[in-house]
Amino acid sequence: MTGALYLGWRYLAHHRFKSSILIASITLMLFLPAATWLLVEDSATALTARADVTPLILGARGSELELVLNTLYFHAESPAEIDNQTLVEAQATGLADVIPIHSRFQAQGAPIVGTSLEYFNFRDLNIAEGRQMGLLGECVIGANVAARLGLVPGESITSSPETVFDIAGVYPLKMTIAGVLARNGTADDDAVFVDVRTAWIIQGLGHGHADLATPGAPVLSRREGMITANASLTQYAEITRDNISAFHFHGSTDSFPLTSIIAVPPDQKNNALLRGRYQDSDSLQLVVPGKVLDDLLETVFAVQNYVILGLAILSLATVAVITLVFLLSQQLRKGEFHTLLRIGASRGYVSVLVASEIGFVFLISALLAVILTLITRYYAMQILQTILTL
Amino acid sequence: MIDVRELTFSYRGRGPNRASSFGMQVQEFTVPVGACTALVGPSGSGKTTLLGLIAGTLRATSGRIVVNDQTITDLDDGDLGRFRLRSVGQVFQAFELLGYLTVAENVLLPWYICGDGGVADVRKRAEDLLQGVGLGSKLNALPGELSQGEQQRVAVCRAMLNKPSLLLADEPTGNLDQENKQNVVDLLLGQARDHDSTLLMVTHDESLLGEFDSVFDMGNVAQPFDVTTRQ
C-alpha cells in the first residue's frame, strides 16, 4: 500500500495551491482555539504568579486594576499619584515593609521605575553585569532593555519627554547605566530602574545648576535675598560626580509623588491589620493584587469561552466546506479511479489512496498547528506584555 | 491463448441509463498464443465489452473465458485484479494517463499498485521502455506537456511494464492522426512480438489491419440481443 501513499502524496504536491488552501484552513481551524486557550491559560498563570507574590499595593483611590497593572507591569495608564508622606506613614505603622513605586516616565520605549533597593530583594532580582545603582542619576536596566538597545554598564540611557509639545517642560535626564539585571522572565526585564529621587528629578521636582551666589554667575537681578537667573542659566541634564552636589529639591520630599507602594506584611495578622487601617480611607486604597486580577480573569475566561464557542462553530463550517471540497474532488477524479481499477487496483487500494490524501492534509495541518501553538506559547509573555501596553 | 465459450453478457440499464442496456452472446472465440489479432465491427457491436470481459473488468452472465490456462470467469474480484496486473497490459483510446504523475511514474503505475519487484529494477525497465519508444528525454515531463502520439506511446509502455502475456488495446488510435496511428500500431505489434504477448486490438480503421495475423469481425463473433425482452 506504500504505492497508494506515494500516489496520494504526488496528487497533493501537484495540486499545491488547492492543497495549501486546505492545509491553511485546517491549520487555522486547529490552531486558533488551541492558541486562544493556551494564551489565556498562560497569561492567567503569569499574571497571577506575579500578583500572588505581591501581597498588597497601596495607592490613590480610583481604578484598582489600573493601580495593580501599573505597579506589577509598569505599563498601564499611571494611576492618580500619592505623596511620599503616605510611604512614611505606612512604614511607621510597623505592620509591613514598604517599597515605593514611581512608574510614570519612559526611556527609549522602556518604563522608568523609581523605587528603592528593597524592590530588588523583594523581586529577587540579581545583577548580571556591572553593579547596583548607587548614585543619583544612575540606573540598572532589565535584560530585554539591554539586549534591545545594545546597552552595557558604563553607557547611558536618556529619559523621554512626556510630550513633545511641552516646550516649558523639564529636560530629559541622561542616566548612567550602573548594571544590567539577570533575566527573570517578568516585566522587570523590560524596565529601567532608578532611585525614586532620580524619578523626581526627571519629573522636574529636583534639579542642578550653576551656583548663582558665586561671582560671574548668570544673574538677572539680586534683591533682598532673591536671585533671578538670566536666560543663559542651564540646568544639568546629566548627573555626574562633578555636579551631583549641585542637585537639590525644592520643598519637602514628603509631598513628592509616588504612583503606588508595595506593602509586604510579615504575616497574615499584620496583613489583616494593615488592610483594616486603610479600609475607610477616602483618598487611599489598599488592594490585594491577586484578588483584583482574579476578578479580571473571571471576565477574560467568560470572554474566552464565547470566543472558543465561536471558533468551534467556524470550525464546523470549515469542516463542512472541506468535506464538500473532498467529495467534489472525488467526483472529478472518477475517471482516474476507474483507470486504476481497470489496470488492476482493488477498491480498497483506491480507498487507501483517497484516505492517504486526506490523512496527509490533516497530518501536515496538525503539525503546523502544533508548531504555531508552540511558537505562540513561546512568545506568550511578550504577547501579554504587548496587550498590557495597549 | 484466449478461449471464449458459450458466453452471455447482459447489462440492464435503469432510469436515465435505460438506453445503455445491452446484451450479447459469444458462442466461440479463440485467439492463439502470441497471435496479433484485430477485432473490427460497427459501434455498439460489443467489441469493447468483449475486451472488458476478457480483461475481467466486466463480469459474464454465463459461459467461460480462459486466458493462458486460467479460467478468469471463476476468479473473484481480488484475483481478477491480480490477474490484470500480472498478465494483462491494457491500452485505452483516451490514453488515461494520470496528469499529476510524470511520464516515468505513469509507466510505473502498475508497480505502484502491485509493488512486485525492486524499485530499481522496475524503474530501469520503465526507462528502457520509454527509451525504446523515443521518450528517453521526457521521463520527468508531465502528460500535459506531450503530444497525443507521445501520450499513447507512454500508455503502451505502461501496458508493457509487467511483461504481460496478453495485450488488450481498445481503439488505441481513435484519437490520433494518420501518422501517429501507424506509429502506435507498429509499436503495439512490435512490443507484442518482441515479448511473445498475445495482442487483441479493437479498431474501426481498416487501413491498419494489414499487419495483423488475423482479423475478426465482431458481427461474426457475437450476437447481440435485447435484454428488455429476454429473461
ipTM of the complex: 0.90
Dist. CA A273–CA A258, nearest whole Å: 23
Closest chain B residue by Cα to residue A1: B113
- Contacts with A339 from chain B: Cβ below 8 Å: 92, 96, 98
User: Stretch B138-145: mean pLDDT, rounded?
Assistant: 95
pLDDT at position A213 is: 65
Task: Provide the residue ranges of all domains of chain B, joining segments of one domain with +.
Answer: 2-225
Identify the CA nearest to A306 among candidates A36, A25, A65.
A36
User: Tens digits of per-residue pLDDT, B96-118?
Assistant: 999 999 999 999 999 999 888 88
Q: Determine contact: A9 vs chain B, CB below 8 A.
A: no
- Contacts with B86 from chain A: Cβ below 8 Å: 344
The pLDDT confidence band at residue B142, using thresholds 50, 70 and 90, is very high
For residue A76 the three cell numbers come to: 498601564
Cell 511641552 sits on residue: A166
pLDDT at position A37 is: 86
- Contacts with A340 from chain B: Cβ below 8 Å: 109, 113
pLDDT at position B208 is: 85
Q: Determine contact: B98 vs chain A, CB below 8 A.
A: yes
For residue A353 the three cell numbers come to: 489512496
CB contact under 8 A, B81 and A3: no
List % helix, strand, coil for chain A (3-state, nearest 5).
55, 20, 30
- Give the neighbor-by-neighbor strand order of the sheet with B88-91: B88-91, B166-170, B198-202, B36-40, B214-217
- Cα distance from B137 to chain A (closest Cα, Å)? 21
- Helix (H/G/I), strand (E/B), else coil: A164: coil
Mean pLDDT of chain B: 89
Closest chain B residue by Cα to residue A336: B98
Dist. CA B96–CA B169, nearest whole Å: 12
Closest chain A residue by Cα to residue B52: A342
CB contact under 8 A, B100 and A6: no
Identify the CA nearest to A108 among candidates A132, A77, A142, A72.
A142
Dist. CA A285–CA A56, nearest whole Å: 10
Q: Determine contact: A342 vs chain B, CB below 8 A.
A: yes
Residue A69, phi then psi, degrees to nearest 5: -65, -40
How many Cα atoms within 13 Å fall on the side-chain side of residue B127?
9
Q: What part of A 348-377 touches B (C-beta under 8 Å)?
A: 349
Does the domain formed by B2-225 have CATH 3.40.50.300?
yes
pLDDT at position B93 is: 85
Q: Please enumerate in sequence order all residues whose Cβ is within 8 A of that of A171, keeping only pairs 6 or more positions apart, or say none.
A: A235, A237
Structure-model confidence comparison of residues A120 and B21, the more confident one: A120
- Contacts with A335 from chain B: Cβ below 8 Å: 96
User: Tens digits of per-residue pLDDT, A73-127?
Assistant: 887 678 889 999 999 999 999 999 999 999 989 999 899 999 999 999 999 999 9
Contact, B188 vs B201, CB < 8 A? yes
User: Tens digits of per-residue pLDDT, A26-62?
Assistant: 999 999 988 888 888 888 887 788 888 999 999 999 9
pLDDT at position A215 is: 64
> Which of B96, B112, B114 lies closest to A339 in CB terms?
B96
- Cα distance from A2 to chain B (closest Cα, Å)? 8
Q: Determine contact: B85 vs chain A, CB below 8 A.
A: yes
Percent of chain B with pLDDT over 70: 96
User: Stretch B159-167: mean pLDDT, rounded?
Assistant: 92
CB contact under 8 A, A6 and B81: no
> Which of A6, A11, A344 lies closest to B85 in CB terms?
A344
Dist. CA B109–CA B121, nearest whole Å: 14
CB contact under 8 A, B77 and A346: yes
- Contacts with B82 from chain A: Cβ below 8 Å: 344
- Contacts with B98 from chain A: Cβ below 8 Å: 7, 336, 339
Closest chain A residue by Cα to residue B86: A344
Within chain A, which residues score under 50 in pLDDT?
none
Cell 533597593 sits on residue: A117
Q: Is the dihedral of CA B145, B150, B155, B158 positive or negative?
A: negative
pLDDT at position B177 is: 81
> Which of A14, A15, A343 lies closest to B113 in CB terms?
A343
- Cβ-Cβ contacts under 8 Å between A and B: the total is 57
Dist. CA A326–CA B27, nearest whole Å: 46
pLDDT at B38 > cutoff 80 = yes
CB contact under 8 A, A340 and B84: no
Q: Determine contact: A4 vs chain B, CB below 8 A.
A: yes
pLDDT at position A225 is: 67
pLDDT at position A140 is: 96
